[in-house]
Structure 1
Amino acid sequence: MILRNKNQCSKRMDSTDKIYGELIANVPEDLSVLDCLVGLHWTLVRSEKGTGMAKTLEGGECEEELRSINGMPLKELATYVKSGDFMHASLGMAAINSALNHLKNVEDITDPESPNGFNHFLSNFAGKRVATVGYFPMLDPLGEICQLSIIEREPHDNSYSEKVSHTILPFQDYVIITGTTFLYKTTINFIQQAHKARIILVGASVPLSPVLFRYGVDTLAGVVVTDEKVLWRAVREGSKKSCLTESTQSVFIQR
């Protein structure tokens, strides 16, 4: 049996509410939802700023069906990122990313780096203890150069369950966390467990906002949409990975 400190749990929930509140506050009041799409693998929301995306998730708490999303204030849809209904949370995250994840905003934050995937970090990872929350196929070669631990919500033969993350993350040099954890409301939990590590948030669901640096994140590795037409068509057709290669640009921002 694992006994959890009530004060720690309360602090984590407060931080989770705060981080979502700050992200939502960065969505301009004058934007509206021009279109949305819940695809097999990705959820898209388009506003006057452009298209934002997030992983499509199902499950969680079953909430009342959303109605009349098109034309809704973007900020209102963004509040659904806090929902326990994972599909609603996907829409909320995509709404936030519609406002934040575009080239102009990224350039306003800093001069973004656009390296070739994780090659940018390979020299740093060599000989270090590295953990990933989520499975990233492109990181498989890391096992040859570092002590790699993979943590998954649904673990496989060579990975650990999220239930034991607290026994792994405090002892890492680098921790890579999937942006999907924003939808599951577990991001803050993993960040706090990895407080001694350099933390990298990764994936198309990651909001490119400096707000996250105040919570202990060191690097944001997300995407901006560069070809909306190609992306929307690909998501309608059920594309999983190829749509990202053809219609988005990887962006790395470090604090």
Structure 2
Amino acid sequence: MTYRPALHALLDWIRPYADAVILDAQIGPFWTAVLSRRCGLASTPHLSHADALLHPPSLRREELIGRPVWEVAQWVLGDEPVRAGAGLAAINSVIEPDLSHCRQMNAKDLLIQRAPGHRVAIVGHFPFTDEVRAAAGELWVLELNPRPGDLPAHMAPQVIPQADVVAITGVTLINHTFDDLVRLCRPDAYVIVLGGSTPLCPALFDYGVDVLGGTVVDDPELVLKDIAGGATFRELRGKRPVLMFQEPPD
């Protein structure tokens, strides 16, 4: 199996919780949730919004419930996207974020704060792209499935080294592009990993990341119910955005 540095670092981090068992799970068209020590989220991979609705995920929740977290977490290394997403959700379900290093704040707001006068690259198309574009000196959006105004993901080697601020979707951990992308960032670039899939784990700071913009689930029952009903991330209730910094924020 291919060695994937960041994913193997995450697996090493959760090794002390290898005996944790998955108590509940949901695999919806857009999001996957795994409940063990806490509720972990990850995107359910799909080609497009329409594809997610037309083709239900190939994985059933019954295949997760009762399994050791450690076993399912290994799936993140594999090439089957839906299982890799479930593996990342399992990892997130046992990571307890150090709240002394966190601030309740949306990664979008941090990006907009950092954008003025800077060149910004965003990997992954987010709903707030236009707001960042209005604030940034220059903005590039790299996307595997480009929309109008986006650049194709294969242009990352030409774009990312130019950027002062780089925002990378946590989904890159699922599709195994994360390691290559962070290697393209300049040493002086400000790097944010963001989105509901993002592990709030200090291990990722060893890869040139400055801030982790993830999600804390406060009401697992509500989140599981919404995911089962096909909710998108914006529609999910019972969760809140959190930024994790290397040092405790002021």
Aligned partner of 1:74 among 69, 93, 96:
69
* Partner residue in 1 for 2:144: 153
* Partner residue in 1 for 2:53: none
* Partner residue in 1 for 2:44: 56
> What percentage of residue pairs aligned between the two structures are identical?
29
Contact 2:10 2:203 (C-alpha < 8 Å) held by counterparts:
yes
Deviation at 1:36, TM superposition (A): 1.7
Alignment of 1:208-219 (within 5 A): 208-219=200-211
RMSD: 2.0
Aligned partner of 2:117 among 122, 127, 141:
127
Aligned partner of 2:239 among 224, 237, 248:
248
Deviation at 1:124, TM superposition (A): 2.2
SS at structure 1 position matched to 2:232? coil
Mapped pair 1:179 → 2:163: no
Q: Which amino acid aligns with 1:226?
A: D
Contact 1:235 1:243 (C-alpha < 8 Å) held by counterparts:
no
How far, CA to CA, are the matches of 2:44 and 2:106 in structure 1? 25
How far, CA to CA, are the matches of 1:114 and 1:148 in structure 2? 25
Contact 1:230 1:243 (C-alpha < 8 Å) held by counterparts:
no
**C-alpha distance 116-45 of structure 1, shift in aligned 2 (>3 A):** closer
How far, CA to CA, are the matches of 1:157 and 1:120 in structure 2? 25
* Partner residue in 1 for 2:33: 44
* Partner residue in 2 for 1:22: 9
User: Structure 1, residues 114-164: CA drift from partner, whole Å, max 9, x if none?
Assistant: 125522342321010001000111231121221111110011220100111
Deviation at 1:241, TM superposition (A): 2.8
Aligned partner of 1:34 among 20, 23, 26:
23
* Partner residue in 2 for 1:118: 108
Higher RCO structure, 1 or 2 (CA under 8 Å, sep 6+): 2
* Partner residue in 2 for 1:190: 181
TM-score by length of 1: 0.84
- Unmatched segments (≥5 aa) in structure 2: 48-57
How far, CA to CA, are the matches of 2:27 and 2:106 in structure 1? 29
User: Structure 1, residues 69-108: CA drift from partner, whole Å, max 9, x if none?
Assistant: 32211111101000100011011000000011x4xx332x
**C-alpha distance 70-116 of structure 1, shift in aligned 2 (>3 A):** closer
How far, CA to CA, are the matches of 2:150 and 2:26 in structure 1? 32
- Unmatched segments (≥5 aa) in structure 1: 1-12
How far, CA to CA, are the matches of 2:190 and 2:234 in structure 1? 29
Contact 2:107 2:243 (C-alpha < 8 Å) held by counterparts:
no
How far, CA to CA, are the matches of 2:59 and 2:44 in structure 1? 16
Contact 1:46 1:52 (C-alpha < 8 Å) held by counterparts:
yes
**C-alpha distance 175-213 of structure 1, shift in aligned 2 (>3 A):** same
Mapped pair 1:205 → 2:197: yes
SS at structure 1 position matched to 2:198? coil
**C-alpha distance 237-216 of structure 1, shift in aligned 2 (>3 A):** same
SS at structure 1 position matched to 2:154? helix
Contact 1:38 1:44 (C-alpha < 8 Å) held by counterparts:
yes
Aligned partner of 1:90 among 50, 65, 85:
85
Q: Which amino acid aligns with 1:199?
A: V
- Hey, which bits of structure 1, 4+ residues long, moved more than 6 A? 64-67
Aligned partner of 2:231 among 221, 239, 242:
239
